[in-house]
Amino acid sequence: MILTLKMVGLACEIQGYQFDDKTKQLKNADILKKYQKINPSFLDVFHYAFCIAGVLIGPYYKFRTYWDTFHLPYSTHVNANKFLTERIRIVPLYVLLYLLGNFLYPLELASSPEIMEKSFWYRVFYMTPSFFNFRMRIYSGFILGECVCIAMGLGAYPKASTPQPGAGPTNFSALEELGTKNLSSIEYSFETVKNIYEYGSEFWPTIREGIRSWNRTVQYWLATFVYKQLTLSKPAKICITMFVSALWHGVHPGYYLCLCSAPLFLFVEAEVEKAFKLSASYSQQVIFDWIWWIIKMQSFSYMGMPFLLLDIRSCLRFWKSVYFCGHIFIVMLYFIAYRVNKTKLKKH
């Protein structure tokens, strides 16, 4: 999976950084060329493709990020042990919570006849601990993947360069200014390889923000090499991007049921925010955020069940057992928000 991202990304990197006459006229064209242009050999591509950092679970990183690790001085000056300790110390807690949650609410129950003997409200509730177990497992894996990169200094850039997940540094002028300074004394960041932002995933109130906090380097890849390459309407671009994401995950129907449901929830969220949040007072917005956070977490839990169950029969059987409540609820919300927005438009 990561190899697919790397090879497609590498092709786009090479094509995207062919500096044309228009780019050469930019004020900082020389700096852009210095920190973005790549010209890999066959061996460079081979080593990048099969580099042990991120080879199994990620994070995704550009070829230029890989190249910088060995040709720029930052990886040798950064105190990697400090970042490694800070990042890995939370993993035992996530593992413990996963083991406890999986013991109390095993995923096998969702596809067993026993789940049908439970009440409707239990099945609705069961989605929440199931998705919690999934999050704890993925948090642990993503962070360990980050730690491999941190241990070898991959993705280390000065904080002043404003590195972004997957993208690397975005302020190249800052990199140029730091060239003559004592590199051991400056502040560094491994944001380039930070694949999961747990706080945002757990506590940011919207579905949109929750998605952006999850698998962030892959989000960068999808945004840069799929979403931004499309010249369609925003809803169409989101649908195609989510379909590509499902295709990248694999051929199991559960991936498509989960990820291709996301555009509907995102579209309704935007409509609901327009109806109830944008013109509200600060206190009303705070109340809205708390209510929508609950809806967000339950929406993720509902969409997450097919992602966990995978096969079409188990997915539809479980959704049918809860009467497709997630889809029905979100569609009802849309019609309510649409009516409110239409009324507001008439008044103005």
Residues labelled as active-site residues: 215, 249
The DSSP code sequence of 229-279 is: G--S-HHHHHHHHHHHHHHHH-S-HHHHHHHTTHHHHHHHHHHHHHHHTTT
Query: Is the distance from CB of 182 to CB of 193 less than 8 angstroms?
Result: no
Comparing CA positions, the residue from 301, 259, 221, 300 lying closest to residue 58 is 221
In the block, residue with structure tokens 């999986």: 102
Length of the chain: 348
Comparing CA positions, the residue from 212, 344, 195, 193 lying closest to residue 276 is 344
In angstroms, the CA 157 to CA 150 distance is 11
Query: Is the distance from CB of 235 to CB of 227 less than 8 angstroms?
Result: no
In angstroms, the CA 98 to CA 87 distance is 18
Comparing CA positions, the residue from 230, 212, 201 lying closest to residue 266 is 212
In angstroms, the CA 178 to CA 186 distance is 9
Token pair in block for residue 214: 């999850």
Token pair in block for residue 115: 């789940």
Query: Is the distance from CB of 219 to CB of 165 less than 8 angstroms?
Result: yes
In the block, residue with structure tokens 């919300």: 333
In angstroms, the CA 241 to CA 227 distance is 6
In angstroms, the CA 16 to CA 37 distance is 9
